């Protein structure tokens, strides 16, 4: 029933005159960017379901191979920031998976479980959120069933505040601002994400759910990121900015896509950055980017200088109410870059 409604709504888009389509906006303080966003893809928007399925299968194989490279971590190597009988807060190193995946790869989850165990006796019942393998920083694990239930509720209702520190390409002009761009699965570069545009939503109508899966056909997700410029720096002779990023909505790959979509991809991001595996500029045409965007030449120079090095994004702080004691907690750890 829900998917039928989505398809009907998407079909309704085709009946609207072109001037009725409203573009997502990138807000900087009080300035709002408006107008129609263009796709950055040079390929046809209207790919067949079989083409998308083949792309997804090939990319998932690459991602599984990448996951196998997760660095081993022992229970004694865990950097514990806080622990009590209900929860553990850990500083995850870059290059380690948060959860093992289907192939039981080395993971932080497994190391924490081996060290602390859980009331349920199950490793997966400790997980309430995760960080990407290339992202370092703070992760919470539940040790009891009560903590698991309440933490899941806190994350679902956005009562957990997470701040990240990142280095991005170029000097961001405004000292602070908000990026408010809806995200969707990118059927041209599955399983990655992109900024949702009207033309890409229209292209979904012809796709077969049974062939491409439900995730590709999901409606756009409202996504908001707030940023503050900490400093404007030089890295190997190249302009970079150190940002504090607050993920308001917590979508998959949100920070990566949003930074790329304002022309300042995260340093070391081999997926959404220069020459990455996902759509360039978060899926937007370069003409839609702000004037202070990092040039292609600068992005290329930074990509060359950072090749083989970890991505520069770190989950620096996390604040929440303890799931059992109800005490307000806040933790912070420094970025490794």
Judge whether 305 and 236 are in contact, CB under 8 Å: yes
Closest C-alpha to 130, from 157, 105, 109: 109
**The dihedral sign for the CA sequence 47, 49, 54, 58:** positive
Q: What is the pLDDT of residues 254-273, one digit of tens each?
A: 999 999 999 999 999 999 99
Task: Indicate whether 43 pLDDT > 80.
Answer: no
Mean of the pLDDT values across residues 244-253? 94
Mean of the pLDDT values across residues 90-119? 97
% of the chain with per-residue pLDDT over 90: 77
Both tokens of 206, joined, read: 């012809």
Report the greatest alpha carbon distance in the chain.
62
Give the Cα separation of 204 and 258 in Å (integer): 22
Write down the pLDDT at residue 31: 31
Give the Cα separation of 24 and 39 in Å (integer): 13
| Non-local CB neighbours of 51 within 8 Å, separated by 6+ positions | none
Q: What is the pLDDT of residues 135-151, one digit of tens each?
A: 999 999 999 999 999 99
pTM: 0.85
Question: Where do the H-state alpha helices sit in 15-129?
Answer: 49-67, 108-116
Closest C-alpha to 192, from 130, 273, 136: 273
313-321 vs 136-142, strand pairing mode: parallel
Tokens 């083409």 correspond to 51
Judge whether 245 and 225 are in contact, CB under 8 Å: yes
Judge whether 168 and 259 are in contact, CB under 8 Å: yes
């Amino acid at each position: 029933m829900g998917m039928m409604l989505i398809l009907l709504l998407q079909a309704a888009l085709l009946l609207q005159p072109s001037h009725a389509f409203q573009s997502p906006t990138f807000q900087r303080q009080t300035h709002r960017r408006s107008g129609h966003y263009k796709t950055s893809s040079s390929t046809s928007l209207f790919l067949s379901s079989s083409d998308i399925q083949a792309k997804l299968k090939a990319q998932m194989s690459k991602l599984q191979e990448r996951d196998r490279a997760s660095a081993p971590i022992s229970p004694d190597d865990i950097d514990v920031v806080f622990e009590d009988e209900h929860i553990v807060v850990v500083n995850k190193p870059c290059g380690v998976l948060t959860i093992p995946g289907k192939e039981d790869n080395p993971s932080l989850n497994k190391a924490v479980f081996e060290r602390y165990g859980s009331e349920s006796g199950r490793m997966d019942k400790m997980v309430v959120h995760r960080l990407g393998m290339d992202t370092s920083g703070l992760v919470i694990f539940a040790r009891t069933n009560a903590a698991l239930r309440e933490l899941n509720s806190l994350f679902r209702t956005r009562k957990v505040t997470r701040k990240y520190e990142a280095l991005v390409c170029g000097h961001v002009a405004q000292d602070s601002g908000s990026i408010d761009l809806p995200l969707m699965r990118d059927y041209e570069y599955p399983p990655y994400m992109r900024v949702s545009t009207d033309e890409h939503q229209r292209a979904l109508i012809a796709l077969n759910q049974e062939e491409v899966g439900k995730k590709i056909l999901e409606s756009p997700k409202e996504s908001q990121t707030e940023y503050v410029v900490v400093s404007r720096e030089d890295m190997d002779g190249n302009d970079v900015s150190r940002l504090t990023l607050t993920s308001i909505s917590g979508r998959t790959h949100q920070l990566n896509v949003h930074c790329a979509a304002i022309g300042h991809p995260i340093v070391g991001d081999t997926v959404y950055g220069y020459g990455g595996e996902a759509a360039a500029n978060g899926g937007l045409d370069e003409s839609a980017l702000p004037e202070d965007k990092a040039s292609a030449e600068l992005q290329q120079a930074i990509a060359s200088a950072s090749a083989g090095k970890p991505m520069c994004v770190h989950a620096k702080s996390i604040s929440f109410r303890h799931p059992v004691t109800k005490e307000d907690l806040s933790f912070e750890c420094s970025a490794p870059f």
